[in-house]
Structure formats: C-alpha cells, structure tokens
Amino acid sequence: MKYDLALRSSRVVTGGGERPATVAIHNGLIVGISPYEAPIEADCVIDLGADALLPGLVDTHVHVNEPGRTEWEGFASATRAAAAGGVTTLLDMPLNSVPPTIDPAALKLKREAAVGLCHVDVGFWGGAVPGNAAELEPLYEQGVFGFKCFLVDSGVPEFPPLAGAELERAARELARIGALLIVHAEDPALVVPAPAGRGYAGFLASRPPRAEDSAIDRLVRLSADSGVRVHVLHLSSASGLAAVAAAKADGIAITAETCPHYLVLTAEEVPDGATEYKCCPPIRDVANRELLWGALADGTLDLVVSDHSPATPDLKETGDFGSAWGGIASLQLGLPLVWTEARQRGHSLVDVVRWMAEGPARLAGLARKGRIAPGYDADLTVFVPEAEFIVDPHRLAHRHPVTPYAGRELVGEVRGTWLAGAQISGEPTGRLLRRGDA
C-alpha cells in the first residue's frame, strides 16, 4: 500500500530496543516498521539520518490552570511547551483551575476552555475532595482518567485534603468503579509551616522525608484494605522506596513516579533566595537523588513526569521560601534534563522512553500511546541525543520564563514532534481525550 508518511532513522527506539528502521504511517497510525533501507511508497519520506526517533512522551502530571488561573499558564502555552519538549499527550490535574475538576459541570467548563487551543492531545484527571464522593462515578463516566487527592493542604482553598473516613469512603468508591487514585503523599501531622526567609534549609526541614514515608505507609494500608489502585505522585523521599517495593512484592496495587527536578537538582546547590527551586515535596540532598536513580533502574519507581506547576512571577519569585508558590515549570525541558543525567549513569534512550512514554501511558490506560509499534498513534519525537545547549528561559514556551534550570547546560535536543502523523507547527490540532479514547 501507499502510506501517508514514512520516517527513516538509524536510531528508532522501540520497545525491543534501538535499531535502524523505517516507520510507516497511515491515517494517523503507525502501520508498519521495516528495515532502514527497505523500499517504501509514501506521499512523503523523511530520512532523519542519525537523529533518534522516539515515541511522543506522555506527561500525566501537568497543571494547566485554565480556566480560573489562566494568568498562571493555560492550554495554549502549556501545550506549545509540551510539543517543543517532545510531549505529545498530557493529562491535566484537577487543580489549580477554578473551579477544580471535582464534578461533571466543572469538567465541562474545563473542556470548553480547552477547545481549539491544544497543540497536543490532552486528557483530564478528576479530583477527590471532602464531600464529593457521589460525584466520582459520574465524573468517571464523563471520561476522566482517575482521581487525585491530597493528604496535606494543597495550597488552594477550593481543593482541600482528604483524611479519615472521607479518604476511606473515596477509596472504596473508586475501588468499586475500578478507578485509579493518585495521591499527593505527605502526612499533614509531620509537615510544619515553612519559616519566612531566604534560606532553603528551613523550608526543607518543614517537609521532612518522614512526612512522605508515613503517607506512603498509609496508602499501602489503604490499598490493601479497600482494593483501590493507588499511585504515589512526585515521590522525592528515597526512604519511602522500601515501602513501595515491599507492597509491590506483596501484590498490592501501588505504583509511584518521580520528577526531573528530583533526579537533577540537589538541596546542596539551592542558592539563598532562589525560590524558583521551591516545590512540594522538596528537592532533597545528593545521596537521596542517587537512590531515586537506583529505584528507576530496578523498577520500584514506574515513571518520570514533570509535575509542571507554574505560577505568576510575583507569586514565585519572592525570594522568601516561606511565602513563595511551590512548583516547578519544566514541561518543555523534561526529556533533555532526564537524558543528560541518565546517560551519565549508563542508561539508554530505551530506558528513558520506558520511564517517560511507556510508563505514563500504562498508568493512564492510554493503550495507543507511548510506543513505536503497529497500531499505535503516530505520535513521534525527533531527538538529537548528542546536541548540547544552554537553557535560556526566554526560549521556553510556557507562559512565564521562570525556571531553576536557567543557564544550565543540557545534552539532547528535540528537533521535531509529530501528532497523529502530522508535524506540530503553528495551528493547534490536539484532541481532547476521554478515558478509553486512546
């Protein structure tokens, strides 16, 4: 048959490894993978040479913040940044938009706000908060991919944490309908208000590792007791890894993620007043970072996603770790950040794809995303693994050029991104996904 498009590369990264190949695309799907030199009939054949061809990344942890706090980010800017970073599918968190996605009416508003603005495919998480247990099944039927809750204060009053009987009720309801519970896991009894000031040490001490560890222990018991599938968000405490590994060995339905900032940055390097480094849970020391890398290698950690959580500069760049907004905007930089560190530790592009494409797609149940294989969506990223560049905040596509990575030298550059077989350029062509769509 004649294909719409064929992409050739000497470095095509598939689930089976990295090899020279030609990827054939028709009607937005990958329909065949043949040897690099094989003759092929297509409307367009592009030879990428030694540039690597990866599946489009899947980022299941993005705060788009629209509607309601669109001055923080927004669908247009967030999805442009995603595409520039090789991310072709993202899932939007139920906060910090206003209203939060805690009932079908709020989901409808969010979907309406996103129409015509998305440069990549976008799906939505729902939220589990006190008092909305009756809304969980209707939200799930409307296509959210699962439900997020906090065990500690979220930072915004419209999305309060779950505790005690409310948490148990939500877990049992989600187990009944077969939905995933994704959790910001810090124990509120072990978190104290961060002291005002420019020093990072006081903020770090306010959210100690044991706060995460205690919360993870609670989630292991919750999953064992209720049967709910649980996913631990943005794990930063390496001392919590043992509980995750033991629970998996016991057959408890729990998974966990970490983020580029925990794999790249360290507490020792945070300058005084540099509140662009503030996030919750916090960036910890260098020994902790290396243990997280080990947990990725042995499978205790399942995936790496951004937790892209931007805010306006007046909220983020206060210089005061007690008052600054806690969140790092890194949607565009995740792939080169992780690759820069991974290659130094002997990991391959196959590993990075497993953590940043296959793993997130599996978590969300996106059956046609995250792999280069026949029958999968033709969402693809051209990546030059040896290219070096220095992070210039003003070249980032997210709304505000605030980043702890400014001036950092990274290795690996995204040179092109395809969505459903079409190269992403100026016009937004992303779809709004519902659970089961892809």
Three state DSSP letters for 33-79: EECCCCCCCECCEEECCCCEEEECEEEEEECCCCCCCCCCCCHHHHH
Scan for tokens 């440069």, then name that residue: 119
What does the block give as tokens for 428? Answer: 């937004």
Percentage of the chain with pLDDT > 70?
A: 100
Three-state secondary structure call for residue 136: helix
The answer on pLDDT for 411 being more than 90 is yes
pLDDT, residue 15, reads: 84
Q: Rounded to an integer, what distance in angstroms lies between the CA atom of residue 72 and that of residue 36?
A: 44
| Mean pLDDT confidence for 188-217 | 98
Q: Can you list the alpha helix ranges (DSSP code H) found in 193-266? A: 200-206, 209-226, 241-249, 260-264
Single-letter amino acid code for the residue at 74? G
Task: Tell me whether residue 227 is exposed, middle or buried, using C-beta atoms within 10 angstroms of its C-beta: 0 to 12, 13 to 18, 19 or more.
Answer: middle
CB atoms within 10 A of CB 164: 8
Q: Is the peptide bond before 132 cis (omega within 30 degrees of 0)?
A: no
Q: pLDDT-based confidence at 16, cuts 50/70/90?
A: confident
| Mean pLDDT confidence for 36-45 | 95
What does the block give as tokens for 149? Answer: 């809750």
pLDDT, residue 438, reads: 67
| Mean pLDDT confidence for 410-428 | 96
The secondary structure of residue 360, as a DSSP letter, is H
Single-letter amino acid code for the residue at 389? F
pLDDT, residue 107, reads: 98
Q: Rounded to an integer, what distance in angstroms lies between the CA atom of residue 159 and that of residue 101?
A: 9
Cβ atoms of 203 and 230 within 8 Å: the answer is: no
pLDDT tens digit string along 112-150? Answer: 999 999 999 999 999 999 999 999 999 999 999 999 999
- β-pairing, 29-34 vs 17-26, is antiparallel
| Mean pLDDT confidence for 154-169 | 97
pLDDT, residue 436, reads: 86
CB within 8 Å of 388: residues ≥ 6 apart: 409, 410, 411
- Picking from 335, 236, 232, 215, the residue whose alpha carbon sits closest to that of residue 278 is 236
Cβ atoms of 87 and 370 within 8 Å: the answer is: no
Q: Give CA angle at 233 (231, 186), nearest 5°.
A: 105
pLDDT tens digit string along 255-299? Answer: 999 999 999 999 999 999 999 999 999 999 999 999 999 999 999
Q: Rounded to an integer, what distance in angstroms lies between the CA atom of residue 24 and that of residue 40?
A: 8
The answer on pLDDT for 185 being more than 70 is yes
Residues in a beta bridge with 180 = 229
Query: Mean pLDDT across the chain, nearest whole number?
Result: 97
CB atoms within 10 A of CB 137: 14
Q: Rounded to an integer, what distance in angstroms lies between the CA atom of residue 422 and that of residue 428?
A: 11
Exposure letters 364-374 (e unless 16+ CB within 10 A, then b)? bebebbbbbee
The answer on pLDDT for 245 being more than 90 is yes
| Mean pLDDT confidence for 191-215 | 98
pLDDT tens digit string along 382-410? Answer: 999 999 999 999 999 999 999 999 999 99
Cβ atoms of 117 and 149 within 8 Å: the answer is: no
Q: Rounded to an integer, what distance in angstroms lies between the CA atom of residue 178 and that of residue 172?
A: 10
Domains and CATH numbers, the chain: 56-366+388-407 (3.20.20.140)
The answer on pLDDT for 210 being more than 90 is yes
Q: Rounded to an integer, what distance in angstroms lies between the CA atom of residue 190 and that of residue 14?
A: 43
pLDDT, residue 60, reads: 98
Calculate the alpha carbon distances from 411 to 59, 265, 339, 341, 359 in Å.
Answer: 20, 16, 7, 9, 23
Three-state secondary structure call for residue 133: helix
